[in-house]
């Protein structure tokens, strides 16, 4: 109870303060606003809350803020009064602590005082319902620090109660009560509001009339010794009115007290009891108002809320305790990402990254590290393809596996990797496919069974590539990259390729061919090999994405079986252990950078490197011939490739001819030398 002091002869009017009721939805919305919109902006923000007056006895008067608090045009809930507020959300706990709360209160009080003096509050009584909210949101821990203030202007002295609060049913007849209900409802309906915070009342034995503040003169028509005013009262206490009455009494004292000696106050309380409307528990009392009409200065104001310990201090709510842990994990994962947008990269389009569907071909050293980095970027859709099982040497280099996964012959990598992602972050949509990728030079036609299996594998791979946006080539052989590279090129999917040497690595994107409908008149419509503009151009510093090559473009040997007859150190990828992490991370960062480019996979490969100025040779783009064959002949073409040695692909792509010409050229050069 906040008491005012004054004449000791009569008991003094006291008011029940608001309890701030900040809903979880409010903090969630604040989190989103802070992350996505306010970021580092500390400027005051308009928010709104509301209070209700139909609570059961025993509940404190609450000023409620919900998720809708940030939407100033959001409708007020039925039978609630709106309150307009100002949010001061600080960037740091330090500035939360050191904020000048006295000054903030004075500023708000002054605005209320000005609205009273100017009459604006008569036109729009909600201006009296002003609140402040000082916050600091520690989004790392989901700790929210806040201090609520409902500024109340203070009258110069305490208000003597001429007639103490009594229940309305002790003063009004049932008929009067029903007339009051009816009159109040009609006025709300006329005004188109859910509730009227403040109003004027005239009554006699048979009628009760209510009116708006701005109609004071017309309503009361000349001086009286006493007027009756109504307040929509959120308080439930039988002896005390709620906080909203305070600024209304100041308004009454300032604007009207010269015309009467006392004021009768009806604290309108409107609840439903056992199915029936009940306003009889409203209270009514009479106070003597001081004359304030000619006081020009803003009165003193109070209103900072006490904390849970009853002292003057902020409150803290730890939402991490009551949130669903999985939901909490999702929000937390987004946090670090969104922080990037606050200061460092405000133009970063995170949605493009988070929503991308990634297919990881290979769940070994590279696959695990790529998946980890994708998780760090918030990517939610990750699919693994691998046909290997986890062996004992894997866990120390493949960061999605543990010793336990190696027991009993080892779990299939693709499935175990997907399971692990779920364990790391339940919000991820991870799947694993334990399947082989058919490879050139790895024959499949020994029996119809294996041929049929190869056909199914190809179909499955085509389907998987179709259903994803970015295809990562992360296998440990060269030839296993061939088929997915061809399919992905045909489907115009962005391909990111990574491969390790001992202390070298390659991380690259494949060129993204122009959409199929374009350039249909070309000899090879689906790739830029034959484009005259490529060879005719004089400046190659900036190569558009659709002219870039693929992993096989710079090779003069077609892919074949590279694992047969290899020694152990050639079978294993022997590389410095740190390399896979570096290459995996760079592969993902490359993808993110490409996705951020307005043209995506068609982004120009710009470089200040002088080597880029050399015109690409026809060699660089040779292997694209296969794309045409794949699109025309499908699996039949692929079966030929799988079952053939190098020579089939080398004949097809012209490498055989190139080798012959190179040899011929070398011989010619020797002859040249000999003539000198």
CA distance 578 to 388: 22
Kindly state whether residue 644 participates in binding a copy of itself, applying the rule CB under 8 A: no
Report, in Å, the least distance between residue 109 CB and a copy of itself: 29
Binding span for a copy of itself by CB under 8 A among 13-21, 458-466, 579-587, 619-627: 579-587
Given 362, 511, 549, 584, the residue binding a copy of itself (CB under 8 A): 584
Burial class of residue 663, CB neighbours in 10 A (0-12, 13-18, 19+): exposed
Shortest Å distance, C-beta 323 to a copy of itself: 9
Alpha helices (H) in 377-509, listed in sequence order: 413-424, 448-466, 482-490
Query: How many Å apart are CA 555 and CA 40, to the nearest integer?
Result: 50
Return the number of the residue (341 or 541) whose C-beta is nearest a copy of itself: 341
Measured from the CB atom, the residue of 473 and 534 that comes closer to a copy of itself is: 473
Q: From the list 589, 599, 661, 669, which residue makes contact with a copy of itself (rule: CB under 8 A)?
A: 589
In the complex, what is the shortest distance from the CB of residue 546 to a copy of itself, in angstroms, rounded to a whole number?
26
| Nearest distance from C-beta of residue 39 to a copy of itself, angstroms | 8
Is residue 168 within 8 Å of residue 284, measured between CB atoms?
A: yes
CB of 340 to a copy of itself, least distance (A): 5
Q: Which residues contact 500 (CB under 8 A, 6 or more apart)?
A: 365, 366, 573, 575, 579, 580, 583
CA gap 284, 266 in Å, rounded: 4
Q: Catalogue the long-range contacts made by 322-326 (C-beta closer than 8 Å, 24 or more residues apart).
A: 322/24, 323/24, 323/142, 326/426, 326/427
Residue choice 192, 222, 296, 577 for contact with a copy of itself (CB under 8 A): 577
Catalytic site residue 572?
A: yes
DSSP type of residue 38: I
Binding mask 379-418 for a copy of itself (x = CB under 8 A): ------------xxx-xxx-x-xxxx-xx-----------
CB of residue 658 to a copy of itself, shortest distance in Å: 29
User: Which is nearer to a copy of itself, 92 or 355 (by Cβ)?
Assistant: 92
CB 159 within 8 A of CB 230: no
Q: Does 578 bind a copy of itself (CB under 8 A)?
A: yes
- Specify the stretch interacting with a copy of itself by CB under 8 A; choose among 9-17, 139-147, 306-314, 516-524: 139-147
CB of residue 632 to a copy of itself, shortest distance in Å? 36
Shortest distance in whole angstroms from residue 96 CB to a copy of itself = 10
Q: How many residues make contact with a copy of itself (CB under 8 A)? A: 72
Using CA of residue 388, residue 393, residue 396, residue 397, what is the dihedral sign?
negative
Where does 377-436 have alpha helices with state H?
Answer: 413-424
d(Cα 513, Cα 516) in Å, to the nearest integer? Answer: 8
Using CB under 8 A as the binding rule, the residues of this chain from 11 to 50 that contact a copy of itself are 39-40
Work out which of 25, 37, 140, 272 binds a copy of itself, going by CB under 8 A: 140
CB of 483 to a copy of itself, least distance (A): 24
Could you tell me the CA-to-CA distances from 387 to 32, 119, 487, 540, 568 in Å, in that order?
42, 79, 19, 41, 19
- 139 versus 195: smaller Cβ distance to a copy of itself: 139
Q: How many Å is the Cα radius of gyration of the chain?
A: 38
CB of 484 closer than 8 Å to CB of 473: yes
Q: Give how far the C-alpha of residue 161 lies from the chain's centroid of Cα atoms, to the nearest Å.
A: 53
Which listed residue (11, 571, 613, 617) binds a copy of itself by CB under 8 A? 571
Per-residue binder mask for a copy of itself (CB under 8 A), 338-377, x = binder: -xx-xxxx-----------------------x--xx-xxx
Residue 52 is inside which H or E element, if any? strand 45-52
Catalytic residue, chosen from 182, 215, 322, 572, is 572
Instruction: Report the alpha-carbon distance of residue 416 to residue 431 in Å, rounded.
Output: 9
What residues numbered 527-546 form the site for a copy of itself, per CB under 8 A?
none
The answer to whether residue 668 forms part of the interface with a copy of itself (CB under 8 A) is no
Q: What is the 3-state secondary structure (H, E, C) of 205-265?
A: CCCEEEECHHHHHHHHCCCCCEEEEEEECCCCCCCCCECCHHHHHHHHHHHHHHHCCEEEE
Site for a copy of itself in 244-303 (CB under 8 A): none
Least gap, CB of 353 to a copy of itself (angstroms): 10
Residues 63-92 that bind a copy of itself (CB under 8 A): 91-92
Indicate the burial class of 159 (C-beta count within 10 angstroms; 0-12, 13-18, 19 or more). Answer: buried
Structure-block tokens of residue 615:
């015109």
Of 63-71, 107-115, 513-521, 567-575, the window that binds a copy of itself (rule: CB under 8 A) is: 567-575
According to the binding rule CB under 8 A, does residue 586 interact with a copy of itself? yes
Where does this chain touch a copy of itself (CB under 8 A) — which range of 125-133, 138-146, 444-452, 667-675?
Answer: 138-146
Among 25, 119, 313, 426, binds a copy of itself (CB under 8 A): 426
What is the footprint of a copy of itself within residues 316-345 (CB under 8 A)? 320, 325-326, 328-329, 331-333, 335-336, 339-340, 342-345
CB 502, min distance to a copy of itself, A: 5
Among residues 576, 599, 617, 663, the one that binds a copy of itself under rule CB under 8 A: 576
Q: State which of residues 24, 74, 317, 585 lies at the interface with a copy of itself (CB under 8 A).
A: 585
Residue 670, Cβ neighbours under 10 Å: how many?
9
Instruction: List Cβ neighbours of 374 (8 Å cut-off, separation of 6 or more).
Output: 358, 382, 588
Q: How far is CA 451 from the centre of its chain?
A: 48
> Of 502 and 668, which CB lies nearer to a copy of itself in the complex structure?
502
Kindly indicate which of the ranges 6-14, 136-144, 148-156, 223-231 contains the residues binding a copy of itself, using the contact rule CB under 8 A. Answer: 136-144
Q: Candidates 293, 312, 322, 572: give the one binding a copy of itself (CB under 8 A).
A: 572
Segment contacting a copy of itself by CB under 8 A, of 195-203, 237-245, 512-520, 587-595: 587-595
Which segment (18-26, 70-78, 429-437, 571-579) binds a copy of itself by CB under 8 A?
A: 571-579
What would the x/- binding string for a copy of itself be over residues 476 to 515, using CB under 8 A?
Answer: --------------------------x-------------
560 is a contact residue toward a copy of itself (CB under 8 A): no
Minimum distance, C-beta of residue 435 to a copy of itself, in the bound complex (Å):
20
Pick out residues in 90-109 that bind a copy of itself (CB under 8 A).
91-92, 94-95
Contact range with a copy of itself by CB under 8 A, out of 447-455, 566-574, 641-649, 653-661: 566-574
Q: Give the burial class of 365: count Cβ atoms within 10 A of its Cβ; 0-12 exposed, 13-18 middle, 19 or more buried.
A: buried
Beta bridge partners of 80: 52
Determine the number of helices (DSSP H) and then strands (DSSP E) in the chain.
20, 26
Q: Quote the CA–CA distance of 104 and 196 in Å, as a whole number.
A: 27
Which stretch of DSSP H or E encloses residue 72? none
Burial class from Cβ neighbours inside 10 Å (0-12, 13-18, 19+) for residue 620 reads middle
CA distances, 499 to each of 362, 595, 611, 615 (Å): 11, 21, 22, 25
Among 226, 456, 516, 566, binds a copy of itself (CB under 8 A): 566
Q: Which residues are catalytically annotated?
A: 572
């Amino acid at each position: 109870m906040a008491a005012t002091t004054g004449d000791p002869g009569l008991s003094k009017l006291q008011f029940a303060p608001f309890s701030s009721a900040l809903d979880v939805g409010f903090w969630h919305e604040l989190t989103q606003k802070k992350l996505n919109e306010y970021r580092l902006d500390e400027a005051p923000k308009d928010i709104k809350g509301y209070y209700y007056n139909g609570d059961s006895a025993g509940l404190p008067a609450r000023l409620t803020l919900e998720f809708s608090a940030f939407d100033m045009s959001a409708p007020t809930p039925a039978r609630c009064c709106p309150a307009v507020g100002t949010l001061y959300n600080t960037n740091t706990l330090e500035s939360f602590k050191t904020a000048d709360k006295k000054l903030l209160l004075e500023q708000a009080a002054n605005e209320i005082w000005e609205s009273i003096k100017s009459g604006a509050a008569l036109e729009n009584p909600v201006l009296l319902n002003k609140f402040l909210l000082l916050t600091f949101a520690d989004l790392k821990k989901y700790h929210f620090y806040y201090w609520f203030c409902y500024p109340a202007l203070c009258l110069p002295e305490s208000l003597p109660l001429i007639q103490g609060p009594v229940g309305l049913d002790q003063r009004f007849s049932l008929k009067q009560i029903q007339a009051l209900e009816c009159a109040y409802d009609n006025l709300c309906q006329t005004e188109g509001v859910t509730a009227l915070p403040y109003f004027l009342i005239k009554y006699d034995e048979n009628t009760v009339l209510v009116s708006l503040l701005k109609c004071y003169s017309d309503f009361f028509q000349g001086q009286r010794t006493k007027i009756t005013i109504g307040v929509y009262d959120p308080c439930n206490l039988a002896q005390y009115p709620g906080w909203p009455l305070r600024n209304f009494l100041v308004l009454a004292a300032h604007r009207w007290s010269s015309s009467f000696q006392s004021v009768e106050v009806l604290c309108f309380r409107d609840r439903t009891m056992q199915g029936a409307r009940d306003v009889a528990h409203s209270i009514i009392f009479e106070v003597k108002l001081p004359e304030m009409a000619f006081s020009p200065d803003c009165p003193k104001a109070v209103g900072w809320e006490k904390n849970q310990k009853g002292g003057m201090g902020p409150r803290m709510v730890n939402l991490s305790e009551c949130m669903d842990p999985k939901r909490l994990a999702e929000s937390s994962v987004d946090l670090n990402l969104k922080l990037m947008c606050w200061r460092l990269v405000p133009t970063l389009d995170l949605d493009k990254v988070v929503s991308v569907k990634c297919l990881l071909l290979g769940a070994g050293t590279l696959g695990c590290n790529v998946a980890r980095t994708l998780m760090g970027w918030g990517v939610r859709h990750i699919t693994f393809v691998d046909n290997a099982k986890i062996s004992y040497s894997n866990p120390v280099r493949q960061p999605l596996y543990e010793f336990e996964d190696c027991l009993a012959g080892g779990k299939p990598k693709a499935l175990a990797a997907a399971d692990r992602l779920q364990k790391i972050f339940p919000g991820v949509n991870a799947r694993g496919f334990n399947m082989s990728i058919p490879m050139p030079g790895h024959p499949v036609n020994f029996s119809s069974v294996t041929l049929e299996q190869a056909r199914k594998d190809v179909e499955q791979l085509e389907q998987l590539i179709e259903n994803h946006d970015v295809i990562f080539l992360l296998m440990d052989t060269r030839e296993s990259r061939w088929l997915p590279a061809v399919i992905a090129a045909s489907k115009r999917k962005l391909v990111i390729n990574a491969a390790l040497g001992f202390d070298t690595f390659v991380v690259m994107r494949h060129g993204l061919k122009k959409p199929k409908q374009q350039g249909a008149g070309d000899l090879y419509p689906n790739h830029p090999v034959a484009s005259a503009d490529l060879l005719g151009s004089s400046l190659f510093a900036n190569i558009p994405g659709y002219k870039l090559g693929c992993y096989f473009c710079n090779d003069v040997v077609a892919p074949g079986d590279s694992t047969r007859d290899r020694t152990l150190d050639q079978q294993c990828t022997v590389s410095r252990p740190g390399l896979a992490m570096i290459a995996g991370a760079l592969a993902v960062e490359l993808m993110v950078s490409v996705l951020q480019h307005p043209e995506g996979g068609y982004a120009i490969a710009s470089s200040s490197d002088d080597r880029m100025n050399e015109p690409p040779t026809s060699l660089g783009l040779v292997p694209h011939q296969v794309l045409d064959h794949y699109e025309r002949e499908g699996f039949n073409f692929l079966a030929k490739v799988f079952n053939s040695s190098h020579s089939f692909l080398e004949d097809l792509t012209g490498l055989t001819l190139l080798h012959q010409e190179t040899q011929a050229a070398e011989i010619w050069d020797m002859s040249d030398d000999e003539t000198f």
